[in-house]
Amino acid sequence: MAPGSKDTRHTLAASDLQAAQEAQDAACGSRLTIDTGAIAANWQTLRERVGSAVVCAATVKSDAYGCGLAPTVRALASAGCSTFFVALPQEGATVRREVPGATIYVLNGLLPGAAAHYAEAMLRPVLGSLAEVEEWAVFCSSRKVALEAALHVDTGMNRLGVTVEEARRIAADPAMLATFRLSLVMSHLACGATPKDPFNREQLARFKSLDGLFPGVPRSMANSAGVFLGADYHLDLVRPGIALYGGEILESDPLRLRPAVKLEARILQVRHVPAGAGVGYGRAQVTNRPTRLAILSTGYGDGYHRRAGSSDIRPGAKAWLSGHAVPLFGRISMDLIAVDVTDVPQDLARRGAYVQLYGPDMDMTQVASAAETIDYELLTGLGRRSLRVYGPLSGTAVQGDW
Q: pLDDT tens digits for 281-293?
A: 999 999 999 999 9
pLDDT value of position 253? 58
Q: Is residue 382 part of a domain?
A: no
If you count DSSP H runs as helices and E runs as strands, how many of each does the chain have, helices first?
14, 20
Backbone angles phi, psi at 178, to 5 degrees: -70, -15
Same structural domain for residues 322 and 222?
Answer: no
Tally of domains in the chain: 2
Q: Which residues of the chain have pLDDT under 50?
A: 1-10, 12, 396-402
Structural element, H or E, at residue 379: helix 375-380
Do 170 and 317 share a domain, yes or no? no
Of the candidates 61, 304, 354, 358, the residue annotated as catalytic is 61
CA pair distance 332, 221, nearest whole angstrom: 39
Q: Are 92 and 122 in contact (CB under 8 A)?
A: no
What is the spatial distance between Cα 117 and Cα 94, in angstroms, rounded to a whole number?
A: 13
Q: Is 239 helix (H, G, I), strand (E, B) or coil?
A: coil
Annotated catalytic residue 144: no
Total residues belonging to the chain = 402
380 is a domain residue: no
Count CA within 13 A, CB hemisphere, residue 44. Answer: 13
The answer on 91 and 42 residing in a single domain is yes
- What is the extent of the structural domain holding 327? 259-371
**Stretch (H or E) spanning 265:** strand 261-273
Q: Is 300 a catalytic residue?
A: no
Q: Are strands 30-34 and 261-273 parallel, antiparallel or unpaired?
A: antiparallel
Let me know if residue 143 belongs to a domain: yes
What is the pLDDT at residue 9?
47
Instruction: For the full predicted model, state whether its pTM sits above 0.75.
Output: yes
Q: Does 285 share its domain with 201?
A: no
The residues, ordered by sequence, that sit 6+ positions from 401 with a Cβ below 8 Å of its Cβ are: 68, 70, 71
Catalytic hit among 208, 233, 281, 354? 281
